[in-house]
Amino acid sequence: SVILAIESSCDETSVAICNNGKITANVIANQTIHENYGGVIPELASRVHQQNIVPVVQQALIDAKVTKKDINAVAFTRGPGLLGSLLVGVSFAKSFALALDLPLIAVNHMQAHILAHFIDEPKPSFPFLCLTVSGGHTQIVLVKDYFDMEIVGETLDDAAGEAFDKTAKILNLPYPGGPLIDKHAREGNPLAYKFPEPQIKGLDYSFSGFKTAILYFLRDQEKEDPDFIQKHLNDICASVQHSIVQILLNKLKKAAKQYGIKDIAIAGGVSANSGLRNSLAELAAELGWNVFIPAFEYCTDNAAMIAIAGYHKYLNKDFVGQDIAPAARMVF
Ligand code: ATP
Ligand code: MG
Ligand code: FE
């Protein structure tokens, strides 16, 4: 089977092709226009998707060395995400499928982040726990099967990616700041400053108070030294990153213990973070975990994860009709 997959939930226009379970193309057009605004502007994102979608599809076909006639199904991100952005991908997928008389496959973006683990070896076996950390979500998911997933813990407010991005904004770094905090953190001392760990019960998270704590900390420091941020940027980034990673992993440890599961995966944009990847690897050695860390290109938004999810739905003949609409707040 040859599956063409489209991802347009936020600010990446991406098209991938999956040929019998193997990814043969994964084209990602990033939108740089949002850098100047300190966050994604939905109106602009949707407009840029419209400009990008056709050339990105064409490039994916070239990369995979296939033509439109070779395609057996069209998969697309139905949600969750920005409605205007989703609408571009969903409408394109529907027209493409209608024109070529192909089945349509609707994919949940958060499930796809997790299913990115089924692109390359080693693949996890069910059941496993996945910490999904992205720009809009922070979840601990019990993955029982490809499409049988249960959220056992999640953030009550901000996502981990937002904590990174909002801290970066306070530090005057451009959007999205997560990767830049990661870069500065490599040169800094993770124990230079301490930030309080939120006390949330069970397996849930909270990052809004954490962000405020950093804001007040910096405000106090800047009263004494107006150049505090410039002088100590690396140490601040290393300490913030260390604190976020500790918060994430402490609940993951608790979940692993509670469910008696040692197969542990991470997914989503923040799973590209070097501090999280290193600490998880250390924990694995310490606790005898079998950890799964995605390749960098499959951490942040990409259509390869939509394609692999689409492939498994194709095997189940799980198709949708032309009446399908995007769902901004879609749950599993
Ligand atoms: P969602 O998947 O919840 O709908 P999204 O699709 O916008 O949100 P992703 O593309 O999965 O999110 O991830 C983007 C987030 O990942 C941003 O918040 C970004 O700052 C963060 N991120 C990416 N790389 C890193 C990194 N190396 N360190 C920390 N954060 C990172
Ligand atoms: Mg993005
Ligand atoms: Fe995402």
Question: What are the backbone angles phi and psi of residue 173, rounded to the nearest 5°?
Answer: -95, 145
Residue 211's Cβ-side half-sphere holds a number of Cα atoms within 13 Å equal to: 19
Is residue 58 over pLDDT 90?
Answer: yes
Please give the residue that has the higher pLDDT: either 33 or 61. 61
What is the predicted pLDDT for the residue at 311?
98
Mean pLDDT of the chain: 97
> Given ligand 1 and candidates 9, 10, 241, 293, which is best to mutate, with the most ligand atoms within 8 Å of its CB?
10
pLDDT at residue 53 tops 90? yes
Query: Using 50, 70 and 90 to split pLDDT, how confident is the model at 51?
Result: very high
* β pairing state of 290-292 and 263-267: parallel
Determine contact, residues 168/218, Cβ cutoff 8 Å. Answer: no
Q: Which ligand is nearest to the CA of 278?
A: 1
Cα(13) to centroid(ligand 2), Å: 9
Assess whether pLDDT exceeds 90 at residue 37. no
Average pLDDT for 311-322: 98
Q: Mean per-residue pLDDT for 250-262? A: 98
Mean pLDDT of 136-159: 98
Spell out which residues line ligand 1, taking CB within 6 angstroms.
Answer: 9-10, 80-81, 109, 113, 134-137, 161, 164-165, 176, 178-179, 182, 268-270, 272-273, 300-301
The tokens of 1 are what? 């089977």
**Residue 109, annotated as binding a ligand:** yes
Contact between residue 190 and residue 179 where contact means Cβ atoms under 8 Å apart:
no
pLDDT of residue 163: 97
Residues surrounding ion ligand 3 at CB below 5 Å: 134, 301
Confidence of residue 329 (pLDDT cuts 50, 70, 90): very high
Mean pLDDT of 285-311: 98
Q: Which atom of ligand 1 is nearest the CA belonging to 183?
A: 27
* Cβ atoms 9, 80 nearer than 8 A: yes
CA of 126 to the centre of ligand 3 (A): 22
Q: Which of 301, 331, 332 is the best mutation target for the ligand 1 pocket, counting ligand atoms within 8 Å of the beta carbon and taking the most?
A: 301
pLDDT for the residue numbered 202: 98
pTM over 0.90: yes
Mean pLDDT throughout 126-134? 98
Atom in ligand 1 nearest the alpha carbon of residue 81: 4
pLDDT band at 167, cuts 50/70/90? very high
pLDDT band at 120 (very low <50, low <70, confident <90, very high): very high
Q: With 90 as the cut, is the pLDDT of residue 45 above it?
A: yes
Work out the percent of the chain whose per-residue pLDDT is above 90. 96
Q: In this model, does residue 38 exceed pLDDT 90?
A: no
112: pLDDT confidence band, cut at 50, 70 and 90? Answer: very high
Token duo for residue 98: 């209608």
The mean pLDDT value for 298-308 works out to 98
The whole-number pLDDT of residue 244 equals: 98
Centre of ligand 3 from the C-alpha of residue 132, in Å:
9
Q: Whose CA is nearest to atom 29 of ligand 1?
A: 178
Amino acid found at 205: Y
Would you say residue 145 has pLDDT above 90?
yes
Average pLDDT value for residue range 133-157: 98
What is the model's pLDDT at position 35?
Answer: 84
Beta-carbon neighbour count of residue 255 at 10 Å? Answer: 20
Is 212's pLDDT higher than 90?
yes
135 is in an annotated binding site: yes
Question: Given pLDDT bands bounded at 50, 70 and 90, which one contains residue 262?
Answer: very high
- 81-101: pLDDT as tens digits: 999 999 999 999 999 999 999
Q: Please indicate if the annotation marks 134 as binding a ligand.
A: yes
Which pLDDT value is given to residue 39? Answer: 87
